[in-house]
Amino acid sequence: MISLRYGVTVAAMFLFSVVAAAETGKLVSGASKASVLDSSLQGYMAHRGTRLGRELLEKSQSQELQATEANIDFVREALAGKSTPEERILLVRALGKLFDRRDPVGRNAQIRKDLKGYVYSGERETARAATFAISRIGGEGELKQILLHAKSNKILDNDEYAGEIAHNLRFAAISHQADLLRLLEESRSSYAVDILTADLKSATFVNQYPLESRKKLLSVIERNEPSFTSAIGAFGYINAIRYATWLHAFALVNESLSRGEYAETVLRELNKPKTDPRKLIGYLTSPEADKFLLEVSKANLSPALTRIAHYADSLPQNQTIQDFAALVRIRTAAMRQ
């Protein structure tokens, strides 16, 4: 007959083995996860140098690559080995995607160093891919030099160069923002200003910048007001959106510097006699105008509304303009008098 003590001992040993197996399973699972190569990269390895291999690499760009040792080692080794120019571009992009801000396997510094090397590789398209990759992960103090190198060596054109500055501005150290804003202003890139203003969605985003940076921001934005380049009878949707975004950002930054309430700034701009009526339509039909229309009176907006009406009357056959003018009337109908 088995004693009670023996039974308890056997039960305890069984329980211990179950727990140990579970813990071992976790370790094995974690290790295998770290060592398993992404399926797209596995496929590329089997078809390197072929169209299918390139397509598998392209597939890896559209999915989240895990920052595992296996993935990082494979991409680095593939770049060090023989590959087609198209593959090298895709591999550099893959390397950039493997940069994980959490740095789970401690390889971020190595990835950044590799990307920087490809920026200065002398291979234009590879350098171009590396420049975009390191810009998007944040080049810290090196970003300015990397972007200037890319521009001076025609790796990036002026809009691309300035656009990357605009993308990085909010995330740059305060000590670097003034310098980046100066470069942005010198670039005279309307594309970069579009990126900058689109990023200033609300007072919360604006106030992430320190006071001195906001002063420079206002100067850059004010000097780069978008315009309609087409004939007065043509209404461009993109230009309308650009202006609405610009005016919204301009008014927000102006308000943050205590130079006028948001609504006051917008009214002043819209009621200027020389403001293109298409700009008036663009802003007043935009989501950015929703709160503004609740805060101001129809009487205060009267000069702008009168000019929109005259503009629409002058182009009775232009259905696009007639439709937008009607939308303005609908959106302003409920305004307080």
Beta carbons within 8 Å of 285's beta carbon, 6+ residues apart: 240, 324, 327, 328, 331
Joined tokens for residue 94: 């893959």
For the chain, the domains span: 230-337
CA dihedral 265, 269, 270, 274 (to 10 degrees): 170
Any idea which residue has 């970003």 for tokens? 143
Q: Residue 40 is which amino acid?
A: S
Q: Phi and psi at residue 81, in whole multiples of 5°?
A: -95, -160
Mean pLDDT, the chain, integer: 88
| CA 83 from centre of chain | 30
Question: How far, in Å, CA of 210 to CA of 203, rounded?
Answer: 13
Confirm whether pTM is higher than 0.75.
yes
Question: How far, in Å, CA of 163 to CA of 234, rounded?
Answer: 28
| CA 230 from centre of chain | 28
Q: Which helix (H) or strand (E) holds 280?
A: helix 277-284
pLDDT one digit per residue (tens) for the chain, 337 residues: 444 343 434 344 344 343 333 433 333 334 344 567 888 888 888 888 899 989 988 888 888 889 999 999 999 999 999 889 999 999 999 999 999 999 999 999 999 999 999 999 999 999 999 999 999 987 657 889 999 999 999 999 999 999 999 999 988 888 889 899 999 999 999 999 999 999 999 999 999 999 999 999 999 999 999 999 878 888 889 999 999 999 999 999 999 999 999 999 999 999 999 999 999 999 999 999 999 999 999 999 999 999 999 999 999 999 999 999 999 999 999 888 8
Beta carbons within 8 Å of 272's beta carbon, 6+ residues apart: none
pLDDT of 262 reads: 97
pLDDT of 35 reads: 61
> Which sign, positive or negative, has the C-alpha torsion 134, 140, 146, 148?
positive
pLDDT of 195 reads: 96
The tens digit of pLDDT for each residue in 9-66 reads 434 434 434 333 343 333 333 434 456 788 888 888 888 889 998 998 888 888 888 9
pLDDT of 307 reads: 97
The tens digit of pLDDT for each residue in 55-103 reads 988 888 888 889 999 999 999 999 999 889 999 999 999 999 999 999 9
DSSP 65: -
